[in-house]
Amino acid sequence: MKPVLLVALLPLALAACAPSDGDTAASAEPAAEAVTQAPAEDAAQVGAMSFDDVIAGDWRTPEFVERDRYRNPAETLSFFGLEPSDTVIEITPGGGWYAEILAPYVRENGQYVAAVVDPEALPEDRRDYPTRSLATLEALFAAHPEQFDRAQVVRYDPAAPGFGEPGSADMVVTFRNVHNWLGSGQAEGMFQGFYEVLKPGGVLGVVDHRAVDGSAEYDKSGYVGQDRMIALAEGAGFQLDASSEINSNPADTRDHPNGVWTLPPTNNHDEADAGRYAEIGESDRMTLRFVKPAG
């Protein structure tokens, strides 16, 4: 499956999954020094933007920026070890929340690839969401050519996922998607696809809603057991390199009537409870870094 390059002068190309959104062997806290030092080193590369510059970019959607306090993008990507020279594949980027950061960051020296579900690979009655997501992403890229003209899109079939040439990526990242794949029975195949596309020594970075019971079977609440997540990755051949509490939220009790979608930003709750859930904020999330063994 070959990536399709999106350039700013292709407006005619614009057409227009489920809702998006434990102890480990190693642990890493969001140290301020690590986050502030990495961007200075990255900026030394030709034309590279620092994390600070990208986070402050005026192309970012204002509603997305408001959620930085819950999603901690600079700290999260620094924890994953992203470099501006990396080829990074983001799996199912949705409306482009992280694409607005990733693509400009690696534009000069690396490559950003958005891996999206191919609507044509799905039954007709399941094509609406991926079709709308793809159109939104393409519109974003076309509207800001200075940041996204070198971004690529690869469409994949969830039943037989492939994300590029084997061993071609330095990093694969995915944010709040694994619960959807567990619900559809596709998680094992997705992780195998991540393993195949990564270079030896490459990194898989995963963020998702964390269940109370680390080993619990998926219960369609949107929350995933951290032990279950680690087992999925290890089953595909990955090794857990580190875990972080960067995106944790101790205020999230994880027992909401409509699962994780009760909380912001979905806010699937009675209006009378708006203040209560706004005070909790977005979900408690695990942040895990896996590595494809080098040998």
Is residue 11's pLDDT more than 70? no
Half-sphere exposure of 97 (CA within 13 A, CB side): 21
Give the per-residue pLDDT at 37.
Answer: 45
Residue labelled with tokens 């020594």: 201
Residue 268 has pLDDT above 80, yes or no: yes
- Give the CA-trace dihedral at 49, 102, 70, 76, to 10 degrees: -80
Residue 183: its pLDDT value, please? 92
Q: Is the pLDDT of residue 295 over 70?
A: yes
Packing angle of the helix pair 32-42, 73-80 (nearest 10 deg): 80
Q: Retrieve residue 7's tokens.
A: 């350039």
Predicted confidence (pLDDT) per residue in 152-193, tens digit: 999 999 999 999 999 999 999 999 999 999 999 999 999 999
pLDDT for 263 beyond 70: yes
C-alpha span between 284 and 258 (Å, rounded): 15
Choose the weakest-confidence range: 40-44, 53-57, 118-122, 281-285: 40-44
Q: Measuring CA to CA, which residue among 163, 232, 165 is closest to residue 193?
A: 163
3-state secondary structure the chain: CCCEECCCCCHHHCCCCCCCCCCCCCEECCCHHHHHHHHHHHCCCCCCCCHHHHHCCCCCCHHHHCCHHHHCHHHHHHHHCCCCCCEEEEECCCCCCCHHHHHHHHCCCCEEEEEEECHHHCCHHHCHHHHHHHHHHHHHHHHCHHHHCCCEEEEECCCCCCCCCCCCEEEEEEECCHHHHHHHCCHHHHHHHHHHHEEEEEEEEEEEEECCCCCCCCCCCCCECHHHHHHHHHHCCCEEEEEECCCCCCCCCCCCCCHHHHCCCCCCCCHHHHHHHHHHCCCCEEEEEEECCCC
The pLDDT tens digits of the residues spanning 207-227 come to 999 999 888 888 889 999 999
| 251 alpha-carbon distance from chain centroid | 23
Are the C-beta atoms of residues 230 and 288 closer than 8 Å to each other? Answer: yes
Q: Is the pLDDT of residue 13 over 70?
A: no
pLDDT at 290: 98
Look up the pTM and report it.
Answer: 0.84
Q: Does pLDDT of 29 surpass 80?
A: no
Average pLDDT over residues 30-35: 38
pLDDT band at 244 (very low <50, low <70, confident <90, very high): very high
What is the largest distance, in Å, between two alpha-carbon atoms of the chain? 56
| Position 36 pLDDT exceeds 50 | no
Sign (positive/negative) of CA torsion 205, 135, 180, 118? negative
> What pLDDT is recorded for position 45?
62
The structure tokens listed for 209 are 């809603």
pLDDT in tens, 47-106: 789 999 999 999 999 999 999 999 999 999 999 999 999 999 999 999 999 999 999 999
Residue 8's pLDDT is: 36
Give the pLDDT confidence score for residue 47 in this predicted structure.
Answer: 72
CA–CA separation, 92 vs 174, rounded Å? 7
Question: In this model, does residue 1 exceed pLDDT 70?
Answer: no
Class level of CATH domain 4-10+24-291: alpha beta
pLDDT of residue 165: 97
Q: Pick the more confident residue, 282 or 29.
A: 282
End-to-end C-alpha distance for the chain, whole angstroms = 26
pLDDT at 41: 47
